[in-house]
Amino acid sequence: MAAIGNRGTVTEAAGFDPEADAQKLRDAMKGAGTNEATITEVLAHRTIAQRQRIKEAFKQSVGKDLADELSSELSGNFRSVILGLLMLAPVYDAYELKTAMKGAGTEEACLIDILASRSNAEIRTINAFYKKEYEKSLEDAVSGDTSGMFKRVLVSLLTAGRDESDKVDEAQAVVDAKEIYEAGEARWGTDEVKFLTVLCVRNRNHLLRVFEEYQKISGKDIEESIKREMSGCLEDVFLAIVKCLRNKQAFFAERLYKSMKGLGTTDSVLIRIMVARAEIDMLDIKAEFLKMYGKTLYSFIKGDTSGDYRKILLELCGGE
C-alpha cells in the first residue's frame, strides 16, 4: 500500500488500521455538523492505496459508500479535494477530464495539464477507466469538444504512442530541428503538423537534443518560437509538452504559481495538482517552486486560501 511515487509528501501511514479510520470518519459525520479536522487528519495522511482500504472498511461496516456520504456532508473546494483524494489516480484524471468537458465551454487547461504530463502507461489506464466509467471513449469525447489543430494534438497524445526509449538519433535530431524551423520561423504562416509529428512522437532524450539543435539553427529557444508562431490553446499545449519534457516538476510549479498569482485563485488547477501529485513528486515541485519564485509553495497556499480548504492543502503540501 505504498505511495505511487517516491517523491511525495503523502507517504504510507505506519500502523495503518482501516477499520479504525473508517470509524473515525463515521464519527466525524455523526450528528449535527461535520468534524472537518478529523476528515483532513485521516485522509491527507494516507496513501491512495490505504484510502481504498478505508473505503472498503467503511462500506463493510455501514453499508454505505464513503465518497457519497462525504459528498453530501461537505461543500465547496474542501469537498472537491476530499473526493479527489478518495479516487485512484487514473480515475481522478478521467473524472477531471470529464468535468472539464461538461456543459457549455471546455476547460482546455485541464485537458492540457493532464494529457501533456502523463506517461503512455498512465494515458492508457485513463483511457480504459474513462471508457468503463462514462461508456464513451475519451478520444470521442475530446474530439467532440475541441477542434482544429488543438484537437489533433490531443488525439495524438491520447494514442499513448510516444517513443519511450532513451535512444537519441543524432542525425534525425538535426533533421527534426531543421523541419520545425522550416515549418515555423523560416516561413510565412506555420506548418503546425510538423510540430505535432516531432513533439508528440519522439522520446524525451531525443527531443532535448532537438531543442539544442533548434537553438543553434534559429538562435531562439523552442518555447520562444512556439509563442511567436502560435496562439491560444495550440500554443498552450505545445508549450506544456516542451515544459513537461524539460522538467515536469517545474511545469507543475509554474501552473501552481499562475493559479494563485494576482487577483483570485483558479481553484480547479490548484486542487488538481495538489491532489494528483501529492504522493508522486510534490517534494520536487515544492523545491522547483522555491527556486523559481523565491517563496515557498506553502506560503503561497496559506496566503491565497482559507478555512478547511486551506488546512487540507497545507497538509498535502507537507510543511514549508
Q: Give 7's pLDDT tier (boundaries 50, 70, 90).
A: very high
Q: Does domain 89-159 have CATH number 3.40.50.1980?
A: no
Backbone φ and ψ for 215, nearest 5 degrees, come out as -60, -40
119: pLDDT strictly greater than 80:
yes
**pTM reported for the whole predicted model:** 0.95
104: pLDDT strictly greater than 80:
no
Q: Give 152's pLDDT tier (boundaries 50, 70, 90).
A: very high
Q: Domain boundaries in the chain?
A: 18-74, 89-159, 170-246, 248-317
28: pLDDT strictly greater than 90:
yes
105: pLDDT strictly greater than 80:
no
Instruction: Residues 170-246: name the CATH superfamily.
Output: Annexin (1.10.220.10)
Q: Give 190's pLDDT tier (boundaries 50, 70, 90).
A: confident
Mean pLDDT estimate for the chain: 96
In CATH terms, 248-317 corresponds, of 3.30.565.10, 3.40.50.300, 1.20.1630.10, 1.10.220.10, to 1.10.220.10
Q: What pLDDT is recorded for position 264? A: 82
**Rounded to whole angstroms, what are the CA distances from 33 to 26, 39, 198, 265?**
12, 13, 55, 27
Task: Give pLDDT tens digits for 93-103.
Answer: 999 999 999 97
Task: Give pLDDT tens digits for 235-254.
Answer: 999 999 999 999 999 999 99
Q: Give 186's pLDDT tier (boundaries 50, 70, 90).
A: confident
Give the single-character DSSP code of 47.
-
Who contacts 309 (Cβ-Cβ below 8 Å, separation ≥6)? 76, 77, 78, 81
Q: Give 315's pLDDT tier (boundaries 50, 70, 90).
A: very high
Q: Give 309's pLDDT tier (boundaries 50, 70, 90).
A: very high
Query: 3-state secondary structure string, 279-313?
Result: CCCHHHHHHHHHHHHCCCHHHHHHHHCCHHHHHHH
Check if 18-74 and 248-317 are the same fold. yes
Who contacts 98 (Cβ-Cβ below 8 Å, separation ≥6)? 130, 133, 134, 141
Instruction: Residues 18-74: name the CATH superfamily.
Output: Annexin (1.10.220.10)
Cβ(91)–Cβ(133) below 8 Å? yes
Distance of CA 194 to the CA centre of its chain: 26
Average pLDDT over residues 67-95: 98
